[in-house]
Amino acid sequence: MSVPRRSDPATVANLLVEALPYIREFSGSVMVIKYGGNALAASTDQLGDDVGDGPTLGTLATFAQDIVLLRSVGMLPVVVHGGGPQIGDMMRRLGKAVEFRDGLRVTDAETLDIARMVLVGKVNREIVSAINVHAPLAVGLSGEDAHLITAEQRSEQLGFVGDILRVDPTMVRGLLAQGLIPVVATVGIGQGGQAYNINADTAAGAVAAALGADKLVYLTDVAGVQADAKDPSTLIGRLRASDVERLIADGVVAGGMIPKVEAAAKAVREGVRRAHVLDGRVPHALLVELFTDSGVGTMVSP
């Protein structure tokens, strides 16, 4: 869906009328939006040596506008972000080898320091700053703050990669009650204050479930779940949580889409009303999915 030109007031008016019932329905509702590292990096192919270093101004600025608009019409957005491509890029710049096992980054102590630096000190600050350009609402935090995300080590082989034990949404609820927009970096905390690198897809689903969110939205670098990964026309607009295991077994859902769809299904089974997977590279995809009848991605329902 293309954004209408300002010279076409009738189209703009029709879109606003179409959006009105959705705005009314979701006013006061919590919406957790996972802004993936791939969505952040997907539009950086013209940045030369800075590829993968972070979001382009245009892509991030558009996302920030959408988040502020959601808050302005009465919704309560919570942003949860990853930063895998940015972590990998920083590791390569520092001469650190990047190693994955079963799709997860092997995280020794040095890699953990890099991950915390990139997630909390760079990506988080960029998202917060982009939102605050439009309104001073965004507050950056990580899963370590006030023990928002408590985790334990997954395995010795993966190092400081954590599985979520518990999400305490008290601090996030407090920020929402003040009219603010929490922006969460997915670093968790374990016994004795040990930090852990947490899969951002899983973290977003767990945060959404803990908050009892109405919506969980994954913004990534694909259009959604497709029956044929190479054919955009095969996009599956709606599926049920009970369909997910079959789609994974059949190979329809594969690779990096698996943790997103699994987390989405788990979240709706735990009380989130709907989960969505969208292409974060498409301008205003978030608004089109939430405020129009057709939508643009895949919606997962109980």
Residue 185 and residue 143 in contact, taking contact as beta carbons nearer than 8 Å: yes
Q: Report phi then psi at 133, rounded to 5.
A: -60, -35
Distance CA 31, CA 218 (A): 11
**Is it the case that residue 228 has pLDDT exceeding 50?**
yes
Percent of the chain with pLDDT over 90: 68
Q: Where are the domains of the chain?
A: 27-301
Confidence at residue 48, expressed as pLDDT on a 0 to 100 scale: 33
Q: Which residues contact 240 (CB under 8 A, 6 or more apart)?
A: 300, 301, 302
More confident residue, 228 or 118: 118
Residue count of the chain:
302
Long-range contacts of 91-100 (CB under 8 A, 24+ apart): none
Mean pLDDT of all residues belonging to the chain: 88
Residue 90 and residue 111 in contact, taking contact as beta carbons nearer than 8 Å: no
Task: Identify the three-state secondary structure at position 253.
Answer: coil
Residue 26 and residue 208 in contact, taking contact as beta carbons nearer than 8 Å: no
Confidence at residue 133, expressed as pLDDT on a 0 to 100 scale: 96
Distance CA 291, CA 244 (A): 25
Confidence at residue 70, expressed as pLDDT on a 0 to 100 scale: 97
Would you state the structure tokens that stand for residue 180, as one six-digit string?
């603010």
Mean pLDDT of 220-226: 86
Distance CA 26, CA 205 (A): 19
DSSP labels for 116-153?
A: HHHIIIIIHHHHHHHHHHH-TTEEEEETTGGGSEEEEE
Residue 62's H or E segment, with its range, is helix 57-72
Classify domain 27-301 by CATH architecture: 3-Layer(aba) Sandwich (3.40)
In DSSP terms, which residues pair with 300 in a beta bridge? 239, 275
Mean pLDDT of 51-64: 62
- pLDDT tens-digit profile of 238-270? 999 999 999 999 989 988 788 889 999 999 999
Confidence at residue 41, expressed as pLDDT on a 0 to 100 scale: 65
Residue 222 and residue 279 in contact, taking contact as beta carbons nearer than 8 Å: yes
Mean pLDDT of 36-41: 69
Nearest to 280 by CA among 55, 121, 84: 55
Distance CA 72, CA 299 (A): 24
Residue 259 and residue 161 in contact, taking contact as beta carbons nearer than 8 Å: no
pLDDT classification of 42: cutoffs 50, 70, 90: low
DSSP labels for 213-244?
A: -SEEEEEESS-S-BSSTT-GGGB--EEEGGGH
Amino acid at 136: P
Confidence at residue 7, expressed as pLDDT on a 0 to 100 scale: 52
